[in-house]
Amino acid sequence: MIRIREKEFAAILEHCRAEFPLEACGLLGGKKERGNYDVEKVYFLTNGEKSRDHFSMIPKEQFQAVKDMRREGYLLLGNFHSHPKTAPWPSQEDKRLAYDTSFIYVIVSLKEKSKPQLKAYSYDQEKNVICETVEIIK
C-alpha cells in the first residue's frame, strides 16, 4: 500500500496537467515500513525527451533529488510519470524499464483530463505487475 498526503497527491496531478500534452515525470521520496510506502516528498523532474509517449529523467536532476532525500532521511521509493492520452496501465516500455522490484511505479492518466487517475504498481521478480492500493491521507 502507498500512503500519500492530499497536498502531494494534488501537486503530482497539477504537475502532470502543466506538462500536458507531454509526459511528466518525477521521483518519490519517503519511508518504507512493512511493505507500506509513505510518500513524504515529491520531486518534479524534467522529461529529457520532451515526448508525448516517452520519458527519461535527467541524471543530474535524479542525482540532486536523491541527495536531498539522503539529507532528509528519506528513501527513494520509486517514480511517477504521466500518460497524457492513455490509461494508467504500464506500457510494454514501462515494464521493460521497471528494473527494481523494491520500487513503486506511479502512473497518472490524463486520458479524461477532467478526471485524472493515479495508479501505483510494483513488480515481482518475473516482472508481473502488482497493483498497489493508494491511500490519500490528510
Contacts with Zn ion, residue ranges (CB under 5 A): 91, 94
Q: Which is nearer to Zn ion, 91 or 117 (CB)?
A: 91
In whole angstroms, give the CA distance from residue 103 to residue 132: 11
Query: CB 42 → Zn ion: shortest distance, Å?
Result: 18
Shortest spacing between CB 36 and Zn ion, in angstroms? 24
User: Which CB atom, from 56 or from 91, has the smaller least distance to Zn ion?
Assistant: 91
List the beta bridge partners of residue 122.
130
Question: Cβ closer to Zn ion: 86 or 102?
Answer: 86
What is the Rg, in whole angstroms, of the alpha carbon atoms belonging to the chain? 14
Residue nearest to Zn ion (CB): 94
Q: Which residue lies nearer to Zn ion by CB, 62 or 91?
A: 91
* Backbone φ and ψ of 25, nearest 5°: -155, 165
Cis ω for the linkage preceding 116 (within 30 of 0): no
CB of 40 to Zn ion, least distance (A): 24
Least Cβ distance, residue 87 to Zn ion (angstroms): 10
Strand order in the sheet with 129-132: 129-132, 117-123, 104-109, 75-83, 25-33, 36-45, 2-5, 134-137
